[in-house]
A and B are shown apart, each in its own frame.
Chain A
Amino acid sequence: MKTGLGQVARTGAPGAAGADMGPRVLVSSMLRYGVLLASAVIVAGLVFLLIQVGPRAFLSMPKTSISESTDLTSIRAVVRELLPPEPEAVIEAGILLLIVTPVLTVGATAIAFAMERDWLYVAITTFVFTMLLLGFAIGRGSSPGGG
């Protein structure tokens, strides 16, 4: 309690400029570059699709073929399919990049808090990161629709 209040005073006083500078810059740029990279890959996949299938790929009903595999091996299949440039696999790789971006960001934030020696938030962030990985593992771990 004592140390907690002490920390409030320490970071509270300079306030505006420096508070949480490290974690904030890290999270903001990781999200930005993750999103930019993912959308670049998705756009590349769409360009492939346009070259291969032509404009009608964008006008017709999207192919919603039910995937036969129901386990996590299809993620590996995506990576394997990446080698020859199949448009759909490229797009899926982009979507996958988008999905891992926030999870990796939380993991990196734990490190950023550690560099600021903010152990309470290292613990909090590590806990959240662990729960996210648990969610990956359990499967229906959390928010399917989000918001």
Chain B
Amino acid sequence: MFFVIFLVSVAAGIGGAILGLGGGIIIVPALTLLLNLPIRFAIGASIVAVIAGSSGAAAAYIRDRMTNLRIGLALEVMTTTGALTGAFVAGYVSPHWLYLIFGLLLGYSAVALLGRLKLELPGQVPYDPLAARLRFSGDYYDQALGQRVAYRATGVIPGAVMMYLAGIFSGLLGIGSGLFKVMAMDVAMRLPMKVSTSTSNFMVGVTAAASASVYFARGDIPAPIAAPVALGVLGGAWFGTNIMGHLRNTTIRKLFIPVLVVVAVSMIAKAIRSP
């Protein structure tokens, strides 16, 4: 049992570190379907996984200048505000419509991503005065291309709106915020894919930590499950960060699309099934 959870968590850690997700997408179904754990423990475990994976991966990505700290922190303003909004409106909005809206949004993102599949780097992007004011720019050394890549963001307002929605969504339903964060940065703000995923990596852990204490206090994070999850994800994240630098941006996009499609379809299915 211990070792199965550990191995699942290693896989989630690797996947999360490369794709900029928390790994909840892997952890929750694996623990509930494979191991028959109650959903509340699976969600508790996925929170531990998100924080462990995010902190482990971000430590390396920030050092390597892949994560853009300014973009991450400034966008956290939107996601944390959104999350609080989500908590307040939780009683008034039917999850049915939410699943449908976000399923469609993710589906649209998948199509938008398909159009950008061959794009290694965004190149010249339209000037955005807000991006300049917030200094949303930077550079990193790309190991796959063997060159230093300078970039700057555009479309800050659409990106910020998507981040706010991501926050509401995660505040209400507790899933998919990593996917939205990557999409907002890649599709709307047109950052290099690696910058998007590694910045998202930093962000998801910060957001998850805010609610983790409550789950912890409620007893949803039992030590026998949390221990192998935390250690496994940390190991996986360490491994994943070492792989990710050597991957091409286009490869990461290709890995991202199937995840996006699966989640979009399952959300729309949930919307249709729920009353």
- Residues of A at the B interface (CB closer than 8 Å) are 1, 4-5, 7-8, 11-12, 15-16, 19-20, 23-25, 27-29, 31-32, 34-35, 38-39, 42-43, 45-46, 57-75, 87-89, 91-92, 94-96, 98-103, 105-106, 109, 120-121, 124-125, 127-128, 131-132, 134-136, 138-147
Choose from B70, B87, B217, B218 the contact partner of A142 (Cβ within 8 Å): B87
Pair B76/A128 contact, Cβ less than 8 Å: yes
The reply to whether the CB of B145 lies closer than 8 angstroms to some CB of chain A is no
Question: What would 20 A/B residue contacts be, using CB atoms closer than 8 Å?
Answer: A16-B148, A29-B59, A31-B58, A35-B56, A39-B234, A45-B227, A58-B3, A62-B5, A91-B226, A99-B48, A106-B73, A135-B83, A136-B213, A138-B87, A144-B211, A145-B46, A145-B170, A145-B208, A146-B49, A146-B208
Residue of A nearest to B229 (CB): A95
Residues of B within 8 A of A (CB-CB), count: 94
CB proximity to A under 8 Å, residues B1-55: 1-3, 5, 16, 20-25, 28, 37-38, 41, 43, 46-52, 54-55
Pair A141/B206 contact, Cβ less than 8 Å: no
For residue B24, which residues in chain A have a CB less than 8 angstroms away from its CB? 145-147
Pair B222/A125 contact, Cβ less than 8 Å: no
Pair A145/B135 contact, Cβ less than 8 Å: no
Q: A62-B2, A132-B209, A132-B210 are in contact. Are A146 and B50 (CB under 8 A)?
A: yes
For residue B205, which residues in chain A have a CB less than 8 angstroms away from its CB? 102, 146
The reply to whether the CB of B134 lies closer than 8 angstroms to some CB of chain A is yes
- Residues of B at the A interface (CB closer than 8 Å) are 1-3, 5, 16, 20-25, 28, 37-38, 41, 43, 46-52, 54-56, 58-60, 62-63, 65, 69-70, 73-74, 76-77, 79-81, 83-84, 86-87, 90, 129, 132-135, 137-139, 148, 150, 167, 170-171, 173-179, 181, 200, 204-219, 221-227, 230-231, 234
Pair B211/A11 contact, Cβ less than 8 Å: no
Q: A62-B1, A64-B41 are in contact. Are A142 and B207 (CB under 8 A)?
A: yes
For residue B52, which residues in chain A have a CB less than 8 angstroms away from its CB? 35, 38, 98
In the complex, what's the smallest C-beta–C-beta distance from A147 to chain B, in angstroms?
Answer: 2
In the complex, what's the smallest C-beta–C-beta distance from A34 to chain B, in angstroms?
Answer: 6
Compute how far the CA of A63 lies from the CA of B38 in the bound complex, rounded to whole angstroms: 12
For residue B135, which residues in chain A have a CB less than 8 angstroms away from its CB? 4, 7-8, 11
Pair A120/B134 contact, Cβ less than 8 Å: yes
Choose from A34, A58, A66 the contact partner of B2 (Cβ within 8 Å): A58
Pair A4/B230 contact, Cβ less than 8 Å: no
Residue of A nearest to B64 (CB): A28
For residue A11, which residues in chain B have a CB less than 8 angstroms away from its CB? 135
In the complex, what's the smallest C-beta–C-beta distance from A98 to chain B, in angstroms?
Answer: 6
For residue A61, which residues in chain B have a CB less than 8 angstroms away from its CB? 1
Q: A60-B1, A144-B47 are in contact. Are A128 and B206 (CB under 8 A)?
A: yes
In the complex, what's the smallest C-beta–C-beta distance from B70 to chain A, in angstroms?
Answer: 6
Choose from B63, B84, B86 the contact partner of A24 (Cβ within 8 Å): B63
Pair B69/A27 contact, Cβ less than 8 Å: yes
Most buried by B among A31, A125, A132: A31
Q: A98-B230, A147-B21 are in contact. Are A135 and B80 (CB under 8 A)?
A: yes
Choose from B23, B65, B174, B227 the contact partner of A91 (Cβ within 8 Å): B227
Compute how far the CA of A90 lies from the CA of B62 in the bound complex, rounded to whole angstroms: 30
Pair B83/A141 contact, Cβ less than 8 Å: yes
Compute how far the CA of A46 lies from the CA of B232 in the bound complex, rounded to whole angstroms: 13
For residue A20, which residues in chain B have a CB less than 8 angstroms away from its CB? 69-70
Pair A64/B38 contact, Cβ less than 8 Å: yes
In the complex, what's the smallest C-beta–C-beta distance from B234 to chain A, in angstroms?
Answer: 6
Pair B217/A102 contact, Cβ less than 8 Å: no
Q: A45-B223, A142-B210, A147-B22 are in contact. Are A23 and B69 (CB under 8 A)?
A: yes
Compute how far the CA of A136 lies from the CA of B211 in the bound complex, rounded to whole angstroms: 6
Pair A99/B2 contact, Cβ less than 8 Å: no
Compute how far the CA of A125 lies from the CA of B197 in the bound complex, rounded to whole angstroms: 21
